Amino acid sequence: MKKVITIFLCLVLVLSCGSVAFAAEKAPGFGDYDHVFIIGVDGLGATFSQVESPSFDAIFGAFAYRYDAQTEKVTVSAQNWGSILTGVDYKTHGFTNSNLKIRERDSSSKNHSIFYYTRQAMPDAELVSFNNWDAINHGIIETDLGVKKINCDTDPKVAEAIESYLDEGNVPKLMFVQLDSVDHAAHTHGGLSDEYLTAPRRADTLVGSIYNAIASHGLMKNSLFILVADHGEAWHGHGGRTREESSAVLAVAGKTVNQVQLGIDAHNRDVSAIALHALGIKQPSQFISKVPAELFGKTKRTVPKTVTIGTGDFTTADLDDDPPFGRKITNAFELAFHTVASFLLTWMDQI
């Protein structure tokens, strides 16, 4: 009898160990990464499908991307960067270009940024955000998390600041970067102009430089590198619901990222879910942001050691030049139309 009981107990033990092991099996990609780098390019839309982008191709070609991921319905910067960083939709977080510039917020606010969740999980983590458009650092990222907020007034200065920051020996858990000159080119010259299409080529070069700076410090071995846009551009700029404005690139590279085209339901705000997942942080309950099922696999893959950045002649237009007089007049009308249309669309959507 004693023998039977012993065998029975052993059986129970084996079965329970098996079920614990089964329950503990983690989702692909969960906690696989020590660092997450998010490079945001304002107004880039899906233009990497239209212009040469050697850095993008070298970094993401063997991993996961979609040129035309979805954006928020309102294709304005604050609404989209807000969702990309908080994992909720634009109505829930309520950020607008104006209110970001007026008010700061701390961690007592609702709809926390991913920096908040990372700080909660990792009290000593190095966290940093580089902006050309400083409204993101001012109004979205909480003031009391110890996130280093670095603002620069041109994109090349952002890239240089990142290089210096890494050269100083800083090793961030989470880095967010926002480049702004693509959107600037669209507002100045029109979103389908030659000048606008020059700007993504320059942005591609900077993305390559930033990647190389990170890789040269040996960080890409255990890092997830993400590229995302907030919205695209039409002739008048953005804010409406054309296909160009409502498409945004989303691309992810890292050692457990599959080589796959992301599905049609991929959304730019999925960046928040992807970043927390990669760092091993549970998804907050209010997130509608999600990790695309096809993104991560179990097979380890090698990321590029460095990439060869573009050497094309990008001097056809100085993007910081004033536009011609005629363009200034059209810009004024388009801006007025765009402001009224954006206001009406936002208002109609919130009633």
Residues at the contact surface with Zn ion, assessed by CB under 5 A: 42, 77, 183, 230
* Nearest approach, Cβ of residue 186 and Zn ion (Å): 9
For Zn ion, the closer CB: 237 or 304: 237
Q: In whole angstroms, what is the distance from residue 155 CA to residue 180 CA?
A: 7
* Nearest approach, Cβ of residue 40 and Zn ion (Å): 9
Q: Which residues of 250-270 are buried (b: 16+ CB within 10 A; e: fewer)?
A: bbbbbbbbbebebeeebbbbb
Q: In whole angstroms, what is the distance from residue 195 CA to residue 186 CA?
A: 8
Chain centroid to CA 211: 14
Closest C-alpha among 175, 247, 261, 260 to residue 211: 175
* Nearest approach, Cβ of residue 49 and Zn ion (Å): 19
- The CB-nearest residue to Zn ion is 77
Beta carbons within 10 angstroms of residue 7's beta carbon: 10
* Nearest approach, Cβ of residue 269 and Zn ion (Å): 14
Return the structure tokens found at 18.
């098996």
* SS3 sequence of 67-127: EEEECCCCCCHHHHHHHHHHCCCHHHHCCCHHHHHHCCCCCCCCCCCHHHHHHHHCCCCCE
How far, CA to CA in Å, does 90 sit from each of 74, 96, 350? 8, 9, 10
Q: Which amino acid is at 136?
A: I
* Nearest approach, Cβ of residue 231 and Zn ion (Å): 5
Phi-psi region of 237 (alpha: psi -120 to 50; beta: other; left: phi over 0): left
For 296-343, the DSSP string reads B-SS--PPPS--PPP-----SS-TTSPPPHHHHHHHHHHHHHHHHHHH
* Nearest approach, Cβ of residue 19 and Zn ion (Å): 49
* Nearest approach, Cβ of residue 298 and Zn ion (Å): 36
* Nearest approach, Cβ of residue 97 and Zn ion (Å): 9
For Zn ion, the closer CB: 32 or 230: 230
From the CA atom positions of the chain, what is the Rg in Å?
Answer: 22
For Zn ion, the closer CB: 230 or 270: 230
Q: Which residues of 299-327 are buried (b: 16+ CB within 10 A; e: fewer)?
A: eeeebbeebebbeeeeeebebeeebeeeb
For Zn ion, the closer CB: 166 or 228: 228
For Zn ion, the closer CB: 106 or 349: 349
For Zn ion, the closer CB: 89 or 183: 183
For Zn ion, the closer CB: 77 or 223: 77
**Residue carrying structure tokens 């070609």:** 61
* Nearest approach, Cβ of residue 88 and Zn ion (Å): 18
For Zn ion, the closer CB: 68 or 183: 183
For Zn ion, the closer CB: 42 or 68: 42
